[in-house]
Amino acid sequence: MARGGINKALVHKARQTLLARGEHPSIDAVRVELGNTGSKTTIHRYLRELEASESARPVQEVTLGQELGELVAQLAARLEEEAQRAVAPEREALARERVEYQQQLAEAAARIRQLEADNAALSGQLQAARAACTEEQQLRHQAQIEGARLLQAGEDLAARLADRDAQVVSLEQKHQHAREALEHYRTASKEQREQEQRRHEAQVQQLQVELRQLQQTLIVKQDELTRLNRDNERLVTEARQLRRDMAGREADLERQASACAGLREQLGLAEAGKALLQSRVEDLQGELARQVEGMTLQARQTEALQASLIEMAAQLRLAAAQATGERTEPRGAEGEATGDVPAAGSSAEAAAEARDDSAS
């Protein structure tokens, strides 16, 4: 069957055109002349019919060369047709393979684009993980610095508490010296105050009451000192706990460096621990301020007591001088009292030093 537009007349016209140009009217030449249309089998059949119709015409003298040429052309056309038939399945298989190869190539290109997109996403995730690791290392360094600062602050606080303990001991010693000096003065002036004892008994009792109050105050201060020592021990314990917490946090940070999956959770824990440390530092600073306030109040009370002791000693000396009227022994008593005054003055100087330390 001829394809659309191919018939015997067109094949005859193409054959005549080729013969007119002096070319051999083979199947391929006729097909090219027809515009590469039509089946080679149909073209071959039309050519044979045309050759048969021409052979049925009155026989003209034909040379042997022409007959051989026509026979060779027919054989060549048949060979070409058989070759085309044999090669047609292979061409169809090659076309199918080419289509399959193009499909595979398109799929491979799509796969490559997908892999490139996945690679870009993984690269972004890797950069984010590296940035998170860097930030976590910076936070760890800051936490270490903060821990070292807190440890140094705890040591400084312990040293200041030790200084306060030494100052309290010094105050107690000075107070003991004052009491011993007062007892010595009372013993030395006992004979001189026997006649005036009834009149000054109320004053002596008042002095004893104040001394007892001073002793009670000293007991209270000793209790406060004990409490400060306990607070110091508690602070030392908290510092050790902070060290243990820092060691645990460093272990956590090392585990976080090896596994970046839990960075956000560990970061929240680190921030919470930091907030807790800050609150503890604020509590310690408040407590230290209260302790300094108490020491300042204690120094003021000690100065007031020392001033009252000096005033009472002066009143006793004046009363003894008025009662006896003697100059020699009162002068000795005044000398002893005068020897007591420097002790009170040194106590006032110690209290002033305590106030300066508290203010610093």
Per-residue pLDDT tens listing for the chain (360 residues): 334 457 888 888 888 888 888 888 888 888 888 888 888 888 898 888 888 887 765 544 557 777 777 778 778 777 877 787 788 888 788 888 888 888 998 898 898 999 989 888 998 899 988 888 888 889 988 888 988 888 888 888 888 888 888 888 888 888 888 788 888 877 877 777 777 777 777 776 787 888 888 888 888 888 887 888 888 788 888 878 878 887 887 777 677 667 766 667 777 787 787 788 778 778 887 887 888 788 888 888 888 888 888 888 888 888 888 887 755 554 444 444 444 434 444 444 545 554 555 444
312's enclosing H/E stretch is helix 263-324
Give CA 295 to chain center in angstroms: 42
Max Cα–Cα distance, the chain, nearest Å = 195
CA distance 235 to 229: 10
CA distance 272 to 276: 6
The structure tokens 């621990």 sit at: 273
347 contacts 174 by C-beta, under 8 angstroms: yes
HSE of 147 in the Cβ direction (CA atoms, 13 Å)?
Answer: 21
Q: Give CA angle at 80 (73, 26), nearest 5°.
A: 40
φ, ψ dihedrals at 3, nearest 5°: -75, 170
Looking at this protein, which amino acid is placed at residue 265? Answer: E
pTM (2 d.p.): 0.24
320 contacts 333 by C-beta, under 8 angstroms: yes
**DSSP-assigned letters across all residues of 159-206:** HHHHHHHHHHHHHHHHHHHHHHHHHHHHHHTTTTTSTTTTTTHHHHHH
171 contacts 329 by C-beta, under 8 angstroms: no
Burial of residue 333, with CB atoms counted within 10 A of its CB: 0-12 exposed, 13-18 middle, 19 or more buried: buried
Instruction: Bin 2: left if φ > 0, else alpha if -120 < ψ < 50, else beta.
Output: beta
